[in-house]
């Protein structure tokens, strides 16, 4: 799903954690199996249906930022594999701290991989906000350089537009 969301001065993760339903004006929905896309207007979905959201633009008020420690983390969420930096307060285990975090949690310096119409797509995304309740595999990354992919067809992209990853 691809769309844009205009925010006031709040951070996207704070906004998503403060609402139950997200209403988007113009949306492009893409079927991962076939690659077919359709446009929709006035599209509504529950925030709990989201798997992940690419964040771009303003990082929010400086006073909301806190010093954190990063942990390179690998996770699986729906049909997506994500490698990124999970942040936690100094001294806390980032992965273990997820249990007490709000539903939508940001990761930075992420790479997301998924299959689109039989082709593996890999996108580098500066910030990806994931639904911690939808994660089905999670742990520290075991490879400093990322994944070892031995796939026949791989498309690598830089994030240029925001994507919303959801299932219905």
- pLDDT 10s per residue in the chain (168 long)? 888 887 776 788 888 999 999 888 889 999 999 999 999 998 899 999 999 999 876 555 566 666 677 889 999 999 999 999 998 888 877 788 888 899 999 999 999 999 999 999 999 999 999 999 999 988 877 665 555 443 334 444 444 444 566 543
Report the distance separating Cα 160 and Cα 139, nearest Å.
28
Report the distance separating Cα 146 and Cα 162, nearest Å.
23
Within a domain: 115: yes
Within a domain: 14: no
- Its domain, for residue 154, covers 62-159
Write the CATH number for 122.
2.30.30.100
Number of domains in the chain: 1
Within a domain: 18: no
Within a domain: 23: no
Give the per-residue pLDDT at 81.
94
Within a domain: 1: no
């Amino acid at each position: 799903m691809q769309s844009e969301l205009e925010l006031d001065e709040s951070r996207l993760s704070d906004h998503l954690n403060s609402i139950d339903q997200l209403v988007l004006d113009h949306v492009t929905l893409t079927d991962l199996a076939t690659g077919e896309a359709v446009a929709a207007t006035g599209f509504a979905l529950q925030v709990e249906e989201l798997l992940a959201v690419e964040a771009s633009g303003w990082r929010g008020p400086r006073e909301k930022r806190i010093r954190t420690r990063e942990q390179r983390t690998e996770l699986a969420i729906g049909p997506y594999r994500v490698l990124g930096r999970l942040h936690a307060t100094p001294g806390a285990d980032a992965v273990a701290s997820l249990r007490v975090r709000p539903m939508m949690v940001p990761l930075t310096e992420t790479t997301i991989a998924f299959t689109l119409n039989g082709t593996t797509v890999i996108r580098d995304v500066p910030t990806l906000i994931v639904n911690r309740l939808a994660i089905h595999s999670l742990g520290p990354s075991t490879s400093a350089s990322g994944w070892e992919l031995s796939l026949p067809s791989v498309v690598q992209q830089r994030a240029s537009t925001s994507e919303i990853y959801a299932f219905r």
